[in-house]
Amino acid sequence: MRFINLHTHSDSNDDLVLEVVNQYPWEFDDEIAKYSIGVHPWYIDEDRLISDLKCIEVKLNLTECLALGECGLDKRIEIPLDKQVQVFKSQIELVKKTSKPVIIHCVSAFQEMIAIKKEMQIKNPMIIHGFSKNSQVAKSLLDNGFYLSFGKYLLRNPELALVFKNIPNDRFFLETDTIEEGIIEVYERASIIKNIHIEELKKNVANNFSSVFKQ
């Protein structure tokens, strides 16, 4: 059974790993076998937004495209939040035509994200990637139907261990994002925290992936 990397920015071409490689419309690489595609809030560009959205719409209909994202909201950047919300909602309208999940970048805007999910009545699975917050935030997201993906901060922040330990086994994923460590190291850390064998953890994540991604 392969390791599953929910979100990475580099294609390792490792046969032991199923990777969802993050792609941007303006630098799309058709050599990548499995990917997500979206407009990250950091990189919103009005001059190419129409073409970016058109590219996303086309790619979402391809089997190689597993998800929308990463996309989302970030209150710590200079791009106005209302513009970010507009671009995020535009992408959600596209993915709602499919059953594909959404991989979400969310910084200091979790209540806004929950509100948008309710307002737009989003049925597509929504995954907060790179989760690093406390149990209260985790519970709020889980209660509202989100999945959580853990990676860098599971390795870097010891306090996150207790949060991760209490996440239901059917609601989480593991990822590397941009860290130097590989996905196996993330799984090793996660298996220690969950106190389960790494093969059981792999099966657990694979079941979640099959359920959410229909793979």
Asked if pLDDT for residue 131 goes beyond 90, the answer is yes
- Going from the C-alpha of 137 to that of each of 61, 100, 148, the distances in angstroms are 33, 24, 11
For residue 185, give its domain range.
3-213
Query: What pLDDT does 66 receive?
Result: 98
**pLDDT reading at 13 higher than 90:** no
Domain count across the chain: 1
The residue-averaged pLDDT of 77-94 equals: 98
Q: Which of 49, 150, 146, 63 is nearest to 99 (CA)?
A: 63
The answer to whether the beta carbons of residues 112 and 105 sit under 8 Å apart is no
pLDDT digits (tens, 9 = 90+) for 27-81: 999 999 999 999 999 999 999 999 999 999 999 999 999 999 999 999 999 999 9
The pLDDT mean for the chain works out to: 97
Strand 3-8 relative to strand 126-128, pairing = unpaired
Output 213 or 1, whichever has higher pLDDT. Answer: 213
Question: How sure is the predictor about 82, in pLDDT bands with cuts at 50, 70 and 90?
Answer: very high
Helix (H, G, I), strand (E, B) or coil at 150: strand
Q: What is the CA radius of gyration of the chain?
A: 16
Give, in order, the Cα–Cα distances in Å from 176 to each of 87, 141, 196: 26, 21, 20
Can you give the pLDDT at residue 200?
98
d(CA 103, CA 55): 17
Position 152 scores a pLDDT of 95
Over pLDDT 90: what percentage of the chain? 98
Report d(CA 112, CA 109) in Å as an integer: 5
For 121, half-sphere exposure in the C-beta direction (CA atoms, 13 angstrom radius) is: 1
> Tokens at residue 63, please?
């089997």
Task: Check whether 88 has a pLDDT greater than 90.
Answer: yes
The answer, as to whether pTM is greater than 0.95, is yes
Rounded to an integer, what distance in angstroms lies between the CA atom of residue 72 and that of residue 138? 17
CATH number of the domain at 125, please: 3.20.20.140
At 209 the pLDDT is 98
Tens of pLDDT, residues 167-206: 999 999 999 999 999 999 999 999 999 999 999 999 999 9
How far apart are alpha carbons 40 and 71 in whole angstroms? 4
pLDDT score, position 103: 98
| In the predicted structure, residue 149 carries a pLDDT above the cut 90 | yes
Is it the case that residue 215 has pLDDT exceeding 90?
no
